Structure 1
Amino acid sequence: MENYFLDDYINGSRLKSKRKKKQLVKKDFEKQLIQLSKLEKELWKKRNNLPLIPLETPYQKGWQRYFILREDVARSNDALFYNNLLEKINTVQYSSEKSFKKKKKKSRKYVCNDRSQFLKEFFEYEWASPKLDLTEKEKAHFHKVQRWWPNWKCYRIHYVFDEPWRFVFRVRPNMITHTKMVDADLESEIDQLDNYITSNFLRNSMVRIVHGRVKHKRLKEKEISKY
C-alpha cells in the first residue's frame, strides 16, 4: 500500500523515477548518435561532390583490366545486345602488375597465382528490385546459384550470367587524368569528427542505432552444385 501511494505521489508531482531518468538519458544519447551520423554523412557527401581538376601532366598508375566482347561475338548479329548487357555487368580490376598475378606463400615459398575476376552477379534482393537495369530478355541469360557464405554461416542466392565465354579480358594502362579538389577546412572538420567518434568509442553504437542489428536467416546445409 505504501508503494502504491509513493508511486501515485511521484506521478502526481511529476518526479521522474530512476528507471525513467535512465530511459531519458539513453534516449538523449541515441538522438546525439543519430545527429552525429547525419553530420558525418553530410560531410562525406560534400567531399564526394567536390569537382575533379584536370592534371597538367597525366600519369600512369598501374594497370586496369576489364571485359570486352570476344572477336567472333563482336562480329555476330547479337553484338549490340551483348555489348549493351556487358555495360551493365562489366567489372574493373586494378593492379600494379600487368600480369595481374598475386603472390601467395606456399611451403615457405612465394607462388604467383592469377587474380580472379568475374562478371557482376546479383543478389536476390537486387534481382527483385524494380531498380534493376536489366530487360526481360537480358534476365533470361542468367541462372540462379546458391553459395555458402562461411562468414555468415548461411547460403545466399546469386544470379549469374550463363555465357561468360562471350567476353575476354583487356588490359590497359590506368591513366590518371584528374584529381579531386581538396577542401582543407572540410577535411579538418571530417578529421575532428572522426577523432571524436573514435576516441569516445561511438562507432559501433552509431551503426547499431542507425542501421539496427542485421539478422541473417540461416538456410539448411545441403549439397549444391558448384558453379
Structure 2
Amino acid sequence: MATQAIIMDNKREQHEDTDIGCYRLRSERRRKRDRIGAIEKQLRSLDKRRWELNAQRRALPFIPLEPPVQKGWIRYFVVRDDVARSDKGAFYEGLLAKLNTRDWSYRKDFRVRGRCHGKKVYLVKDQSLREWHEWEFFRQGFTDAEARCFYAEDRYDRHSGRLYRVFVFSEPWRYVLQVRPNIIDKVRLTDPELESEEQRLENNIFRNALDRQIQKVLDGAVYRWRDYAPKPWEGHPYKHWPTGRILDRIKEESE
C-alpha cells in the first residue's frame, strides 16, 4: 500500500508540473521588459498627441481684426536707394529675399539695456544679414552669380571646442535697416476646448518631468550642454600650433 501511495503521489506531482507549464508564466526579466515597453508606449503616445494638438491649433484660420492695432516695431533690411537705381538693382532685390532678417522691439529705437565700462546704458540692438553653415549653404539653390557674393569664414565654437565654417555676405553695405510699426490686422481663431486639452497635456508633462524621458525614448539619448563642452584635459586642436601653421591650414581648407 505504501508503495502504491508513493507512485500515486509522483504521478500527481508530474501532472501538476504539466499544468503549471501550460500557463507559460513570464520570468522576472520578461515582466520588467514588458513594464518598460508599456511606459515607452505611453510616452510616445503623449508626444504624438502633443504634436497633433499643435498641428490642429496652427491649422485654425485667421480672422480680420477690427480695428487693427499696433504692437511694437519691426526692423528689416531694404536695398539702398542708389543700389536699387543701379543696373543690378533687381539682382540685389532678389538676393535680399534670401538674406533678410526681421526683428521686433517695443521701442522704436531698438535699444536694449547693457553695460559700457561698468555703467548701465541703453545700447542699439545688433541685427545682421542671414548667414549659413556650410552644410546648408549649398541647399539654398544660389546661382553662380549669387554664390560669388559670399565668402567662407571659420569660427570657433567655445562649447564644443571645434571650428565650424559659415558663409557670409561680402557686401552688407548694399542694404540698410528700416523700422516700421508692427500692425496686427488679423488674429488666429481660438478653440477653447483644444487649448484646454493642450494645456492639460503640457501640465502633465511638466509636472512629472517627462520631457527628458520622451527625448530619450525618441532619440535614444538626452543631449545636454555639458556633453558638448570641452573637457578640462582637452584644449583647442590648434592650441600649440604656431600662427603660420594655423594660417596655412585655413588656406588649405578654403581652397
Same fold (TM over 0.5): yes
Q: Does 1:167 align with 2:184?
A: no
Paired position in structure 2 for 1:220: 237
The answer for the alignment partner of 1:179 in structure 2 is 187
Counterparts of 1:153 and 1:122, CA distance in 2: 20
Aligned to 1:200: 208
For 1:220, what is the secondary structure of its paired residue? coil
Q: Deviations over 1:137-165 (max 9, x none)?
A: 32222222222233444333222111111
Q: Which residue of 1 aligns with 2:82?
A: 72
Once residues 192 and 44 of structure 1 are traced to their aligned partners in structure 2, the CA distance between those partners, rounded to angstroms, is: 13
- Residue in 2 that maps onto 1:101: 111
Mapping for residues 1-227 of structure 1, pairs under 5 Å: 14-105=24-115, 109-129=119-139, 132-213=140-221, 220-221=237-238
SS at match of 1:176: strand
Which residue of structure 2 aligns with residue 6 of structure 1? none
State the SS of the aligned residue for 2:104. Answer: strand
Native 8 Å contact 1:88 1:133 kept in 2: no
In structure 2, do the counterparts of structure 1 residues 153 and 18 end up closer, same or farther at CA, with 3 Å as the change threshold? farther
Relative contact order, higher structure (CA 8 A, sep 6+): 1
1:206-226 C-alpha deviation (Å, 9 max, x unpaired): 12222343586988356689x
Deviations 1:30-49 (A, max 9, x none): 22211211110111111111
Using the TM superposition, name which of 214-223 and 186-195 deviates more: 214-223
Separation of aligned partners in 2, 1:88 and 1:192: 39
Pairwise CA RMSD of aligned residues?
A: 2.7
From the two aligned structures, give the one with the greater helix fraction.
Answer: 2
Letter in 2 for 1:140: R
Q: Aligned pair count?
A: 214
Structure 1 residue 95: Cα displacement: 0.8
1:221 and 1:191, CA in 2 relative to 1: closer, same or farther beyond 3 A?
farther
Q: Deviations over 1:80-100 (max 9, x none)?
A: 111111011100011111111
Unaligned stretches of 5+ in structure 2? 1-20, 231-235, 240-245, 251-255
Amino acid at match of 1:171: V
SS of structure 2 residue aligned to 1:68: strand
**Does the residue aligned with 1:145 lie in a helix, a strand or coil?**
strand
2: CA distance, partners of 1:167 / 1:30? 51
Among all aligned residue pairs of Structure 1 and Structure 2, give the percentage whose two residues are the same amino acid: 37
Structure 1 residues without counterparts, runs of 5 or longer: 1-10
| Alpha-carbon distance, 1:67 to partner | 0.3
Q: Distance in 2 between matches of 1:68 and 1:57?
A: 28
Q: Distance in 1 between matches of 2:39 and 2:135?
A: 33
TM-score (norm 2): 0.74
Determine the C-alpha separation between the residues in 2 that align with 1:77 and 1:84.
Answer: 13
Once the 2 structures are TM-superposed, how far is the Cα of residue 12 of structure 1 from its aligned partner? Answer: 9.2
Question: Would you say the 8 A contact 2:64–2:185 is kept in 1?
Answer: yes
Closer/same/farther in 2, CA of residues 212 and 152 from structure 1, 3 Å limit: farther
Q: Give CA-to-partner distance per residue, 1:16-63, whole Å, 9 cap, x none.
A: 332232222222222221121111011111111111111111111111
